[in-house]
């Protein structure tokens, strides 16, 4: 699902990056640190992450954790993190930065709160899918999200986000699926082009959004 759009480009870029940074001796320690950091950062009242046992000395083990997909089952390099509907509580886990080849992050339908980090693009640089929907995130949508240039899917709906949507999000050229519905957003929406697959549904149930494909803005928004 995450691999729709242009998976090959992402694959090539990530592989190249891996080679460049890691050479032939790339450890998996950072991915282990990543998942440890995520587990430490989140309250897990229903125990979904108890299978995340870091005391297992088997060579490859994190790929068997609940919600984790790896690039290759023989290598602890995380491809996707899928932790929706787990009742997880806490702030956005910045430890995801240590999952250096992550392309899909789904934290939807939990109880996460606080701001989306201002430097989100440093944390999920290669993400092609980012789903933070149905949580309790507040504050503004960071303009830095526009630096996540591989995003195909960006779901921020059903949170408590406020302020304007950064116009720069229209710079994400691969974006096919985008939703900020059911937030507290105001002002002009980004212009994704006349033929964009992004429709008015993406913006439903906000108190004051305007501009194509919604109604035109009043002149106070320039
Ligand atoms: C360690 O990992 C291996 C491979 O996934 C698994 O078969 C084994 O049950 C794990 N041991 C513990 C104590 O979790
Ligand atoms: C990444 O892992 C290292 C080593 O455990 C840790 O010191 C660092 O804080 C982690 N980075 C983030 C952003 O959590
Ligand atoms: C992101 O910003 C926070 C403060 O807002 C800072 O603590 C953290 O080190 C930054 N992380 C990166 C990867 O730049
Ligand atoms: C969301 O956050 C608000 C405070 O900002 C709090 O009152 C509310 O209970 C939270 N809702 C959930 C579902 O966690
Ligand atoms: C986003 O990318 C632009 C252009 O490369 C850069 O100037 C800016 O500092 C980046 N934003 C962040 C928060 O890293
Ligand atoms: C938008 O779609 C119309 C009709 O399908 C087409 O003629 C036009 O060239 C498209 N415009 C862009 C910018 O792709």
Task: Note if the bond before 63 is cis, omega within 30 degrees.
Answer: no
Considering the entire predicted model, what is its pTM? Answer: 0.84
Residue minimizing CA distance to atom 4 of ligand 5: 147
pLDDT of residue 23: 40
- Are the C-beta atoms of 151 and 127 separated by less than 8 Å? yes
Tell me if 122 CB under 6 Å of ligand 3: yes
Distance (angstroms) between ligand 5 centre and the Cα of 144 equals: 7
Distance (angstroms) between ligand 6 centre and the Cα of 51 equals: 50
pLDDT of residue 43: 97
Ligand 5 probe mutation, 97, 147, 150, 168, most atoms within 8 A of CB: 147
**Hey, where are the domains in the chain?**
13-175
Query: What does the alpha-carbon distance between residue 206 and residue 180 come to, in Å, rounded to a whole number?
Result: 8
One digit per residue, the tens of pLDDT, for the chain of length 222 reads 444 445 556 556 665 565 555 443 344 789 999 999 999 999 999 999 998 988 866 666 888 899 999 988 778 889 999 999 999 999 999 999 999 999 999 999 999 999 999 999 999 999 999 999 999 999 999 999 999 999 999 999 999 999 999 999 999 999 999 999 999 999 999 999 988 889 999 999 999 999 999 999 987 655
pLDDT of residue 131: 98
Top CATH class of 13-175 equals: alpha beta
pLDDT of residue 59: 62
Residue minimizing CA distance to atom 10 of ligand 6: 195
The CA R_g of the chain, rounded to the nearest whole Å, is 18
Ordered DSSP codes for 124-139:
STT-SEEE--SSEEEE
């Amino acid at each position: 699902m995450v691999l729709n759009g242009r998976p090959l480009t992402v694959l090539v870029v990530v592989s190249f990056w891996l080679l460049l940074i890691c050479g032939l001796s790339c450890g998996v320690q950072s991915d282990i640190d990543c998942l440890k950091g995520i587990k430490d950062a989140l309250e897990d009242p229903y125990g979904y992450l108890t299978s995340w046992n870091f005391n297992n000395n088997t060579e490859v083990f994190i790929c068997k954790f609940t919600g984790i997909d790896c690039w290759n089952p023989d290598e602890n390099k995380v491809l996707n993190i899928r932790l929706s509907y787990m009742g997880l509580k806490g702030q956005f886990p910045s430890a995801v930065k240590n999952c250096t080849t992550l392309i899909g992050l789904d934290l939807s339908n939990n109880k996460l709160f606080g701001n989306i980090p201002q430097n989100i693009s440093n944390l999920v640089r290669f993400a092609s899918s980012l789903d933070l929907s149905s949580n309790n995130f507040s504050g503004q949508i960071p303009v830095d999200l526009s630096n996540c240039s591989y995003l195909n899917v960006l779901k921020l709906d059903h949170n408590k986000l406020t302020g304007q949507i950064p116009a720069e999000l229209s710079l994400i050229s691969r974006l096919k699926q985008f939703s900020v519905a059911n937030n507290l957003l105001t002002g002009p929406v980004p212009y994704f082009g006349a033929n964009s697959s992004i429709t008015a549904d993406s913006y439903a149930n906000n108190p004051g959004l305007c501009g194509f494909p919604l109604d035109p803005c009043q002149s106070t928004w320039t």
